[in-house]
Structure 1
Amino acid sequence: MSEASSFRDAMSLLTTAVNVVTTAGDAGIHGFTASAVCSVSDNPPTLLVCMNQASRSHTPFVDNKVLTVNVLGAHHEHLSNVFASKLESDERFTHGAWHTLATGAPVLDDALVSFDCEIEQVQAVGTHSVFMCRVVAIKHSERAGEPDESLVYFNRRYHSVGQVCQIDMA
């Protein structure tokens, strides 16, 4: 087994949130499914997003210099698959309902939360680019009732988390 294959197998056991990352601008509208997203700082609010440089959407993200991280709920498994597929970019956006915030990057109407960002730095690391993104707007889900369950990826399969558990301490 190669070192890269062994690393991918090990990383499959790291539970990650599933996100659809989008951009729009002079370079067009694009989006992809990503699990490599994390917070960097809250002052200023900054996220890190990783993207494969071989992706057909890579150049538009770099050129547009904006993106939105749309955090998916358990009910978005189909949308995650659409944005991970070989569908053309404009066809991907026929799935789901979209609007925009400050940057003009597409925001999923019913995402658990969306982080609208300006890309401040791009760093090449191996096969991927690391985008350092300053958050300029945040939109929380407007779905009524209890918070939704989050869509996560673990051991090469989708799962949901966020169920409320009651523990009887008697």
Structure 2
Amino acid sequence: MLALETSTFRNAMARLGAAVNIVTTGTREDPVGFTASAVCSVTDTPPTLLVCLNRASRAREAFVMGGPLCVNVLSASQQTLSNHFASPNSMTDRFAVGHWTTLATGAPVLEEAVATFDCRISQIVEVGTHSVLFGVVEALRIHETAGGLVYFNRAYHALPHTAP
């Protein structure tokens, strides 16, 4: 079997479009969060999703302690917020932008998110350079009137709102 070069794999993965999310844990008083596109549904019974987090991330320790995990799906107008959470800003600086509240778990919830999945971490699997966090959804919220934000080919793309 031929070994696949990391750069070739990354270039191919750049063409796999994905929603842009702010993933949070902690509380409103002690929040932790990062930008992620590696988020997907696992099953609807029980409603579960997964988030991939780089093991070198400074946010990782707060997530592997267990507890809440909240996926805040960003809207087409929130590219700046995505970059803000992907930067080396302190956690305090990151959460100074946006309007934050909570749902069931107490994790920070972005009020302006297109959709919010408020979860409890049920399992963490270590795979190569990443931790795969599985979250069972305890509460969710949907904003029906916002378009989405996706990351494709190393660039942001706005998706228009479409009626269901």
TM-score, length of structure 1 as denominator length: 0.89
1:162 counterpart letter in structure 2: P
What residue number does 1:167 align with? none
CA distance in 1, matches of 2:160, 2:39: 19
Change (3 A) 1:105 1:5: same
Partner residue of 1:87 out of 66, 89, 95: 89
Partner residue of 1:30 out of 29, 32, 37: 32
CA distance in 1, matches of 2:159, 2:5: 31
SS of the aligned residue for 1:74 comes to: coil
Count of aligned pairs between the two proteins? 158
CA distance in 1, matches of 2:68, 2:100: 16
1:152 counterpart letter in structure 2: V
What residue number does 1:5 align with? 7
What residue number does 1:151 align with? 149
2:112 counterpart letter in structure 1: D
What residue number does 1:110 align with? 112
2:151 counterpart letter in structure 1: Y
Q: 1:49-84: per-residue Cα shift (whole Å, max 9, x none)?
A: 100010001011111421100000001101000000
Structure 1: 5+ residue stretches without partners: 165-170
Q: CA deviation at 1:35?
A: 0.3
Structure 2: 5+ residue stretches without partners: none
Q: CA deviation at 1:163?
A: 5.0
Partner residue of 1:128 out of 126, 130, 133: 130
Change (3 A) 1:3 1:20: same
Q: CA RMSD in A?
A: 1.5
Asked if structure 1 preserves the Cα contact closer than 8 Å seen for 2:24 and 2:31, the reply is: yes
What residue number does 2:50 align with? 48
SS of the aligned residue for 1:60 comes to: helix
TM-score, length of structure 2 as denominator length: 0.92
Q: CA deviation at 1:102?
A: 0.8
- Identity percentage of aligned residues: 54
